[in-house]
Every structure is written in structure tokens, then in C-alpha cells.
Amino acid sequence: MLGSTICSAICSVLTPILIPLGGWQAYCAIRIIMGLAQGVIFPAIHQHLGKWSPQKERNFLGTISHCGTDCGIIMSMGVSGLIASSAIGWPGISYVSASACFVWCLLWLFFGYDNAPSARFITPEERQYIESDLMREDNFHKQNIPVPWLAIFTSVPFLSLLVVRCAQAWGYTTLQAQIPSYMAGVLNMEIKSNALFSALPYMAMFCLTFVFLFSADFVMTKGLLTLTILRKVCNTIALWIPAGLMIAIGFLDEEQKTLAIVLMILNVGFNAGATIGSTLNTIDLSPNHAGVLMGIVNTIANFVPIVTPLLVGVIVTDEHDRALWQIVFIISAAIFFFGNLVYIIFGSALTQPWDAPDFLTRDNVESYQTDASKSELNSSPLTQSTVQLVKAEMPRIEFTYNGDEGVDNDGFGKQQVKHD
């Protein structure tokens, strides 16, 4: 995270310096470098959360971490105009952004630690609480845990997570990039140049993030739902409600501009539920490999915004034709719907067997057993094939597998992995 943020800060400082020299080519090069650097931020955050977040506090810490993105967007939209109109002009936007990055880097160097045992600013009781809740052994953080690539890419819960994250990226990209064009072409509304209209959806998303967070905390505290069901409920709200709203926006006419703005704001706002619903699921599936899982999901899902505008350009040949836009919105709504349906059927918040540090070793583990009575995922041909493939690769390891894809993790209980 530190290297990524420093690189972003340097690129931000260089932007107003290099643009007069290299024009738009220099600007594009800087943005590409910045994008590559920032690509590791979310995987690093998830890996960090996997080391620091006890199960009872995972939703809170993860949601707070992710809502910083919306907060930053809101602040930049509100402040950028003021900075650009000041004496330092538009270059000041880059300098202020870079300054914020450098300040964060200093705070991280002083307060940030890779894990609880190495932290200086927490009490021994806090350190013991974190490590015992995550079932860490004394020498855990000194281990070099190999990544079980085969098990990951044949894991049903992980593949369902990948599908729903790509679906969410498709719909959210449509909301961000295409609805403003639709409103300009069909409803004759120009909102891109209006900072308030541009920031309102993110304000709604920021506020609804805490509604989802406190609701989820209440449900888990009362024991009303398991973590798996909670994630699926939140994600269903985050994807299926916007799917319906997206279709509704496509049928509005020029006389319903106010309603269009309200629906657009709600559309983006309800996406806040996807953080608790599916984004944090990488940590559930594998705290030890959360960064790897997030890196895979984020990389593949980020290709979706490349495809979306290309498809829209093929379909919408006339921005003033509402019928063409309706096709775009219906397609996006369908992707929202079916992506979440896959997650509902196959998703899970159970910690997977391949999360174990010794999963790929030959000498330490003879069998993995799971409690089928607590399973939230029935066995499937793909699940069984995963076990058979691992057996084939590690002949000296004998697996006893009862059809459960993971070990119970309801958000409050201990992870239960039984070693024979």
C-alpha cells in the first residue's frame, strides 16, 4: 500500500508539470502508471484485513476501509472546483491530492504494522484477542504460506464470487458512465458539469453504507442470520433493486427529470450493500490468501469497464433514441440479476479448507474433516473434482471429505478445522 500511494503521489505532482511538455500523451501515460500502481491497493487492504480483523469486527473494519473511496470522491468533487478557481489554478488539484497522499504515507510509516504481534500501539490483551480469534500460532507470521492455485480456481464459492463481482462491475459501470449520457441525450439534462448532481449518488452510497453496516451488525449480534445468509441478503439488495431501478429509468421521459435524478441516486446508493454482500467475501473464504483472491477478482472485474462502453456504442447509435437505451439498461439489469443469482446458489462465507497454512504440505496433514451438519453448501461435482485433483497432486495426504466446501464461520464462532 505504501509503495502504491507514493507512486500515485509522485504521478499527481508530475501531472501539471508534464502536460505542458507532452500534451495528452503525457497525461495518458501518467494515468496508466497511476492505475497500475493503484491496482494493488485493494488486494493489499484485504490481505491486511485478513491479518487484523477478528470475525466479529470484520464487517465493520472492512466497510469503513471501503467507504473511504466514496468519501474521497465526494471530497474531491467538492474541493476541486474551489482549488481550480483559486490563485494556483487547476494544477493545485494535483498538488493537494499529492500532499494528502504523502501525509497518509507518513501516518502509515508511524502507525501501520503488518500484523498484531509486531504492533507497538496496541495492548497485549488486544494482541491476544486478535491472534486467538484468528487461531494464529506463535510462529504463524513467520511462515511462508504457499498459494493453492488449483484449489482456488476450482472452488465453487470463489468462482461464484468472481461471477457476481463481474456482474456488479458491469452494472455499476453502466450507472457511472452511461446514465449521464442517457439523461443528456433523452432527457435533455446535463449533469456532468454540475458538481452537486455528480456528487449526490456518492453521498447516497456513503450514507447507505452505514445503514447496511449497522443493520448487519444488529442482525449478527442477535444471531438472526448466519454470515453466509447475511452476505447474500445484502448483495441481493445491492444488485436486484438497482436492476429494477435501471429498467425504470429507461422508460422515463423528458417531463420526469426529477424522478430520473432520484432513481439515479438510489441506484448508485443501493450498491453500497455490495461491500458487505460480496466484496468482503474474499476474507471469509480465505483470510490467509485474501489478498490473492482480491487480486484475481479485481483484475478480472476491472476488464468489464472496458467492454461496457464498447457494447453501448454498438447498441446506441443515436443517443436521443430512448428505445436503444432501454436495451442497454435491460441487458445490465439482467447481468445484475443472474450474477447475483449465481452467488445466492453457490456463494458461501465459510472458510475454505485450502486456507489452512499446511494445506499444500505433504508431512503435516493426513486428513481434512469438515462438519457436514454445519455446512451451508451441498457437495457438487466440481467440489468433488477439486478434492480428487488435490489428492492426485499429493498422494501422501489422505482426505476425508464429507461434501462440505468449508468450515463453519458464522461471524462470531471460531473456525473449526479438525486435524486427525
* pTM of the predicted model as reported, rounded to 2 decimal places: 0.80
Q: Report yes or no: 351 and 413 within 8 Å, Cβ to Cβ.
A: no
Q: Report yes or no: 168 and 277 within 8 Å, Cβ to Cβ.
A: no
Q: Report yes or no: 141 and 115 within 8 Å, Cβ to Cβ.
A: yes
Tell me the percentage of the chain whose pLDDT exceeds 70: 82
Q: What is the pLDDT of residue 352?
A: 93
The mean per-residue pLDDT over the stretch 388-411 comes to 42
Q: What share of the chain is helix, strand, coil (3-state, %, to 5)?
A: 70, 0, 25
DSSP 15-58: HHHHHHHHHHHHHHHHHHHHHHHHTTHHHHHHHHHHHH--GGGH
- Over residues 109-165, the pLDDT tens digits come to 888 888 877 888 888 888 888 888 777 666 676 677 889 999 999 999 999 999 999
Among the listed residues 179, 320, 356, 205, the one whose alpha carbon sits nearest the alpha carbon of residue 271 = 205
Q: What is the pLDDT of residue 191?
A: 61
Does residue 80 register a pLDDT over 60?
yes
Range name among 134-148, 231-245, 322-336 with the lowest pLDDT average: 134-148
Taking the C-alpha atoms of residue 292 and residue 224, their distance in angstroms, rounded to an integer, is 31
Indicate the average pLDDT of the chain: 82
Task: Look at the domain 146-349 and name its fold.
Answer: Growth Hormone; Chain: A; (1.20.1250)
Does residue 229 register a pLDDT over 70?
yes
Q: Report yes or no: 253 and 320 within 8 Å, Cβ to Cβ.
A: no
CA-to-CA dists, residue 56 to 15, 61, 214, 236, 309, angstroms: 43, 10, 13, 22, 40
- Over residues 14-23, the pLDDT tens digits come to 999 999 888 8
Taking the C-alpha atoms of residue 280 and residue 395, their distance in angstroms, rounded to an integer, is 34
Range name among 46-55, 105-114, 176-185 with the lowest pLDDT average: 176-185
pLDDT band at 292 (very low <50, low <70, confident <90, very high): very high
Which residue carries 441478503 as its cell?
A: 233
Q: What is the pLDDT of residue 172?
A: 87
- Residue 85 is which amino acid? S
Q: Report yes or no: 220 and 280 within 8 Å, Cβ to Cβ.
A: no
> Measured on CA atoms in the order 387, 389, 394, 398, is the torsion positive or negative?
positive
Q: At what angle do helices 195-222 and 227-249 cross, to 10 degrees?
A: 150
Tell me the percentage of the chain whose pLDDT exceeds 90: 38
Indicate the domain borders of the chain: 1-135, 146-349
pLDDT band at 71 (very low <50, low <70, confident <90, very high): confident
Beta-carbon contacts of 129 under 8 Å, excluding residues fewer than 6 positions away, are: 54
- Over residues 130-142, the pLDDT tens digits come to 888 777 666 676 6
